[in-house]
Structure 1
């Protein structure tokens, strides 16, 4: 596939406009060196997942309280440093990033990102619900930097950079599976870092266990007999302990499985490669055999029935 054109740096005025347009009102400011912030970005949209190639000079980019309130978006954002360094500040959190590190932060809240030197970042935005993680787990993860020098983190970083480099060619094809791969690699990187011993703040000792449960659920999502008892047995814990892992998440174990399955069905229904497969067959692929239940639950979750979504996508 052909390499995409390089990103050309914009003037300060154009850069400020592009930044605000791409990231819901994000504002660039001078750093202590007093130089005007300059930069440029390129965008690739994969459904509800955004990818951005961002580069520029030393500067501070800020999402203010006013902007966060007026342009609220329920997205999580990662910034992967490919050149330069950065400091991410959100609330009481301060996460320093060097080459190859990324941080996770929340676009519903104000934040400040100080970028040092001639920087380049690979940025990704995802709806928080697609990761399927409890809120307390996300809160714990946002307190840490995630290195990508080896293992699944390196695979994720390579995928993100490759996708951005080939954005013009990839834009010609269906985004469904590319989006699925990006989300899966991000989730795997986050979970792997914690499982390998990333320091957890007090009160978050259940994060690794919850990740193990969610990983098991994702692998066995197609099993119609997936149940708390089956998962608990497979992971050598009691069903009560399993349910307790989800108590502070605002979701039950069953509700989490339900959302993951409905998301998987929605993804398949928008995949052109599966256009010839019946809705019943798509649902059965993800362990759902009750069609009336599927129609009700799907409409409640997405505001449209499975058949309505397919008609919207295919135009027939």
Structure 2
């Protein structure tokens, strides 16, 4: 549907939230919140993303705020803990923020860190989770093909659930799949899906066996559901370091999937030191409830971005909105 720009901007609130520790190279997270007839929605592509890519995030926000969403098939979603590229000694504190979570996604291949540091971090996670816990690795496409192969052979002793985007290119992912066939460790596709003009290219090439679905960069809940159905692969729903308003959209997507065999990366409100609601979507007993989130006015005021940053987001929304309009 087409939402007039003035309606999108009418209740715009831009927040600047502190984080508990550095993650993805940042210590603060900015997000723009908009309100439609269905409720609040979030627009928060990272600042370095261009307008063409960010326009999909705006389409998702408008869809979630202005249109009725698909039917829910479950009322709560099990989530994983997310372990940034921290020192091994910090791992227990990080995991303690995700009570009841049986799965941990561990960041590896952090710029400036070594393979030995990755091994030490993953070992620490295994020690805290115990033998029954599930560990998945996320390299954000930073390994070369050979680096990925060497790393996996060092890390597979920790009983890995899957590898998320170990390499950037589809060709390298296909070859890595071939090289790791005997280890039976699936590759999950994230950037190869959400940053591609044709998300199914990597699927058709056999680059991975699991889809990582993020509602915002895929244009909303419905496009993500359609992609999952067309791909025919098991899916895990993840977030992009959202506020609880943004996580609500991801939870809706996860709750609308016909099959959901993996714990989802939707517990990331635990990485924030503040949120826009007094009742954030934090993991409880390893799961989050599926619900829309209403921001608290006092928190919107307390964590309001500077006027200059708010204007930057307003201009960005205006540019992205223009890209969503049908040709005259």
Fold match by TM threshold 0.5: no
Higher relative contact order (CA 8 A, sep 6+): 2
The TM-score, its normalising length taken from structure 1, stands at 0.29
Give the structure-2-normalised TM-score. Answer: 0.28
Larger radius of gyration: 1
More helix by share: 1
